[in-house]
C-alpha cells in the first residue's frame, strides 16, 4: 500500500473517529443538527474524492478546515440567495401602506401572452421534425449545439441552421 493510500485511510479513520464531535461542533455553529449532519457528510464526500497527492499531516485539523470552508460557502450561498429573492420580490411587488401587494398582469396582458404562446406553439408544430427536435433539445433541454449534433447524428452546422430556421419562424409568428 502506497503512502498516499495510507494517508487517505488515516484521514477516513480520523473522520470516523471524530464524526460525532464534528456533528456537535457544526450543530453549534449552524444552529441546526440537520445542517450539521449534511455538512459532516459533505466533509466525507470531499475526503473520499481526494486523490492522495498531498499528504495530510494533521487529519482532524484538515477535517475541521474542510468543514469550516463548507459552512462558510453555504452561508455565502444563502446570503446571495436571500439577496436575489429580495431583489426579485422588490421588482414584482408594490407596497400599499405597510402591505405588500403582488402586481398581477392586466387581463389584456394575460390574454395577449396566451395568444403569443399559442402562436409560438403553432409555429413550432409547423416546423419540419428535425428542426423541431434540434430546437427543443437546445432551447428546452439546454443542450449545446455540439451536444444536439451528437444526439441527432448530424453536423454542428446543421444544428445551427435548424435552430436559426426555428428562431426566424418564431420571430415571424410573434410579430404584431
Whether residue 26 is found in the same domain as residue 87: yes
Positive or negative: CA dihedral 33, 37, 39, 43 = positive
**Dist CA 142 CA 147 (whole Å):** 9
Tell me the per-residue pLDDT of 115-151, one tens digit each, with 9 for 90 and over: 889 988 999 999 999 999 999 999 999 999 999 999 9
Place of cell 449545446: 144
| Domain harbouring 69, CATH code | 1.10.1740
Residue range 101-110, pLDDT digits in tens: 766 777 888 8
Clarify whether residues 54 and 113 are in a common domain: no
50-91 pLDDT, tens digit each: 766 667 778 899 999 999 999 999 999 999 999 998 888 777
pLDDT > 80? residue 19: yes
Give me the number of domains the chain comprises.
2
* More confidently predicted of 16 and 1: 16
CA distance 106 to 4: 65
Where among 93, 126, 146 does a domain terminate?
A: 93
Task: Report CA Rg, the chain.
Answer: 27
167 in the same domain as 142: yes
Alpha carbon separation from 163 to 118, 141, 166, 173 (Å, rounded): 20, 13, 5, 15
CA atoms within 13 A on the CB side of 73: 9
Mean pLDDT of all residues in 7-34: 89
Dihedrals phi, psi of 102, to nearest 5 degrees:
-75, 135
For residues 137 and 62, membership in a common domain is answered with no
The grid coordinates listed for 96 are 400599499
CATH of residue 132's domain is 1.10.10.10
Burial class (CB in 10 A: 0-12, 13-18, 19+), 58: exposed
Together in a domain, 11 and 86: yes
Q: How confident is the model over 27-45, as a mean pLDDT?
A: 93
My answer on whether 75 and 121 are in the same domain is no
- State whether 76 and 7 are in the same domain: yes
Residues listed for the chain? 176
Residue with cell 464526500: 45
Q: What is the pLDDT of residue 1?
A: 46
Domain that holds residue 17: 3-93
Amino acid at each position: 500500500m502506497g503512502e498516499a493510500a495510507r494517508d487517505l485511510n488515516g484521514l477516513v479513520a480520523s473522520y470516523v473517529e471524530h464524526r460525532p464531535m464534528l456533528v456537535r461542533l457544526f450543530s453549534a455553529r449552524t444552529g441546526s443538527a440537520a445542517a450539521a449532519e449534511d455538512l459532516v457528510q459533505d466533509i466525507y464526500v470531499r475526503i473520499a474524492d481526494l486523490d492522495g497527492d498531498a499528504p495530510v499531516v494533521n487529519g482532524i485539523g484538515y477535517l475541521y478546515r474542510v468543514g469550516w470552508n463548507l459552512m462558510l460557502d453555504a452561508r455565502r450561498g444563502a446570503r446571495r440567495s436571500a439577496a436575489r429573492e429580495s431583489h426579485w420580490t422588490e421588482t414584482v411587488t408594490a407596497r400599499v401602506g405597510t402591505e405588500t401587494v403582488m402586481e398581477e398582469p392586466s387581463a389584456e396582458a394575460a390574454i395577449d401572452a396566451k395568444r403569443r404562446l399559442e402562436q409560438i406553439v403553432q409555429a413550432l408544430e409547423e416546423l419540419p421534425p428535425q428542426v423541431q427536435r434540434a430546437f427543443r433539445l437546445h432551447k428546452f433541454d439546454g443542450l449545446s449545439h455540439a451536444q444536439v449534433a451528437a444526439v441527432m447524428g448530424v453536423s454542428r452546422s446543421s444544428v445551427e441552421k435548424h435552430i436559426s430556421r426555428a428562431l426566424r419562424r418564431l420571430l415571424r409568428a410573434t410579430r404584431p
